[in-house]
Chains A and B, each alone.
Chain A
Amino acid sequence: MTARANVKEVMKEYLLDLDQAAQDGRRKVAWCTSVGPAEILRAAGYEVFFPENHGALLGATRMSMDTIPVANAAGYSPDICSYLTSDVGAWMKGITPLTQAYGIKSVPKPDLLVYNTNQCKDVMHWFEFYARELKVPIYGVHSPNHLPEVTAAHEDAVVAQLKGLIALTEQLTGKRFDEEAFRQSLALSKQATDLWAEVLATARARPSPLSFFDATIYMGPIVVLRGTEVARDYYVAQLAELKAKIAAGEAAVPGETKRLYWDGMPVWGRLRSLSDLFKRNHTAVVASTYCNSWIFSDFDAADPLRTMARAYLKIFINRNDAYKERYIADTVREFGIDGVVFLEAKTCPNNSNSQYNLPARLRAKGVRSVVVNGDLCDLRCFSDEQAATVLEAFLETL
């Protein structure tokens, strides 16, 4: 069975089980942001659903083009996060891509909503919509943002809030929080995330066995199944497969001549056409900010709360520009990259890193880059023709 088939199966089983959980009065479902404290929720007995994954599905299936206008008309601006508008619009319209993919009628109804503002503040507005709509408890972890370094004081602030979340889950479930289950959950997350880092590192090989476009599919389990054996086992298999490809000289992009870094969000509705464009031009996108964002090397089950706080604060999107500049320059060197593509996402300024002169500063370090205008889900903000011209012209200069 191929890795892609595996990941599809893993995601299918996860979503079908969530659907069952939502219909089973004895099981509880929590919604969590993608870099939120999922391990705590699992240890507290919740099945965890990630609306961002749903947003990405809406984008990839291009259903978002039907659902974003619904949210816009209801008062959610076209300029805010298109994950939010795609997902809220889908809720308002009563549709989901899960129906066609898995026969699931609706996203699993939550018993608890938990967000972390380490990514952005739009997740707060997003979850608050559902808290009002569904009248379920909501808990926000308000992280210190855009940090040059993560200090003990920053960690203390988050640890205190994580303790607050634990207290809330005890109150809601009527059960004492299982510390040992939490340690186990974090230990499994650590194993999975280390494997995910190794999976991504296989792209250092020339030719690379893995492209960014493959990785956006393979990353599903590290986003939605952290803290489970399923995620860890999937990445064991995935890593073995990629190592076998390296041994066989099998390239993700046949005839690879150029290697790129992708910064910012994927354009979910254009993964295929962008992947084809790079393939036509014998170019492999071998590393990305986006996929690397689920590497949490700091996790340590011996000190789960503090190391979880540290890892979730240290994510790229939550750092200052000096950190981002160093990070991209280092990755470019480590992966033998010829140039960087910055996606400037119209509705995601928080993850559009070209807007504060970073490309020019990287250029001074010898890193060439290009900026593509577009969006994660809102294809009204993306021009296929212009993106193709910009990308191909950039490749001509390398």
Chain B
Amino acid sequence: MTTYWGVDCGSTEIKVVACDDAGRVLHRHRRRTLFPLIEHVRGALAGDGDFENPLVDGGARVAEGHFVTATGYGRGHLDFAQDKLTEIRAHYLGVRHQLGAELPPGQDYAIIDIGGQDSKVITVKTGDVDQFIINRKCAAGTGAFIEELAHRLRIELASLPELERRHDAELTLNSYCTVFAAQEVIKVLMEGQRVENLIHALYRSVVKRVLEMTVVTAPSVVFSGGVLTHHEPLRRMFGEKLPGKRFLLAPEAQFCGAIGAALHGLERARKQAAPPVHPSPSQEKHP
């Protein structure tokens, strides 16, 4: 039996899962992305000692019986990883695995993932990724934008959703640029505006930036990734902006990429184990 590991090496957090060869998640672990990256990824794979470590030889290689697949922005830096895929496909595989019963192959849907340094809208058609779009280089519409403004406001990230619910006025943050948006925030605060209203405007701005990237035509929308898990007002606002659609939050939204990576490894193993559909030329000649 092989354990299939997925490492989602994001800009903010490293997420790790281990799956068995039926695709069941056996173990999950996450920690802040710190540097040197490879050391912290090794630490994430070792976890808290409550599960097997797939790495041996001081973390230089993967042990027999384990298969490690990497995704996320840091995937190219993990020398020991046996396979790699982009977070676009990884999130799709993770969502499909978790919500397969609700999203049968014939049903088109969109996945919205807001990550630490990018946001993505993935369109799934006829059971596979059809198109995707990633935000441009600036941080607007990403977790980094929310973090930066929370930092400017000296407010804990975790308390933003609760504060947002107490807003009583509609404000608008116009800027694409985090620095300019921070200037807008300071200006509005100097004018005496309540911070709750600013946080509401901040969330609205993120939703607006994401929806500016593409037209979501699919009837269902799946939320994936940590930012959408922890910031309920964003999910509510997407619902308001996209009326008539069905919204689903992936049960382990934060681990979607890592689960997808692990399943990619499992799929690969299954393909390699499967007998060829047609006999190869050599088999034809030498039955």
- Contact, CB under 8 Å: A396 / B137: no
- Contact, CB under 8 Å: B137 / A389: no
- Contact, CB under 8 Å: B137 / A383: yes
- Check A373 for interface membership: any CB of B closer than 8 A: yes
Q: In A361-398, which residues have CB < 8 Å from any B CB?
A: 373, 381, 383, 385-386, 388-390, 392-393, 396-397
A174 to B132, CA, bound (A): 61
- Check B8 for interface membership: any CB of A closer than 8 A: no
- Contact, CB under 8 Å: B129 / A396: yes
Residues in B with CB closer than 8 Å to A388 are: 76
Residues in B with CB closer than 8 Å to A386 are: 118, 134, 137
A373 to B134, CA, bound (A): 10
Known: A389-B73, A392-B86, A393-B89. 7 other contacts (CB 8 A): A373-B137, A385-B73, A386-B137, A388-B76, A392-B85, A393-B88, A396-B85
Could you list which residues of chain A lie within 8 angstroms of chain B, going by C-beta atoms?
373, 381, 383, 385-386, 388-390, 392-393, 396-397
Residues in B with CB closer than 8 Å to A397 are: 128-132
Residues in B with CB closer than 8 Å to A381 are: 137
- Contact, CB under 8 Å: B131 / A390: no
How many residues on chain B are close to A (CB under 8 Å)? 16
- Check B164 for interface membership: any CB of A closer than 8 A: no
- Check B113 for interface membership: any CB of A closer than 8 A: no
Residues in A with CB closer than 8 Å to B131 are: 397
Residues in A with CB closer than 8 Å to B129 are: 393, 396-397
A397 to B126, CA, bound (A): 12
- Contact, CB under 8 Å: B136 / A389: no
A385 to B72, CA, bound (A): 10
- Contact, CB under 8 Å: A389 / B89: no
A373 to B135, CA, bound (A): 10
Residues in B with CB closer than 8 Å to A393 are: 86-89, 129, 132
A393 to B130, CA, bound (A): 11
Residues in A with CB closer than 8 Å to B73 are: 385, 389
What 7 pairs across the A-B complex have the smallest Cβ distances? A393-B88, A393-B86, A396-B89, A392-B86, A385-B73, A397-B129, A389-B86
Taking the nearest CB of chain A, how far is it from the CB of B94, in angstroms?
14
Residues in B with CB closer than 8 Å to A396 are: 85-86, 88-89, 129
Query: What are 25 A-to-B residue pairs whose CB atoms are below 8 Å?
Result: A373-B136, A373-B137, A381-B137, A383-B137, A385-B73, A386-B118, A386-B134, A388-B76, A389-B73, A389-B86, A389-B87, A389-B88, A389-B134, A390-B134, A392-B85, A392-B86, A393-B86, A393-B88, A393-B129, A393-B132, A396-B88, A397-B128, A397-B130, A397-B131, A397-B132
Taking the nearest CB of chain B, how far is it from the CB of A34, in angstroms?
28
Taking the nearest CB of chain B, how far is it from the CB of A191, in angstroms?
44
A382 to B268, CA, bound (A): 33
A395 to B86, CA, bound (A): 10
Taking the nearest CB of chain A, how far is it from the CB of B82, in angstroms?
15
Q: In B105-143, which residues have CB < 8 Å from any A CB?
A: 118, 128-132, 134, 136-137
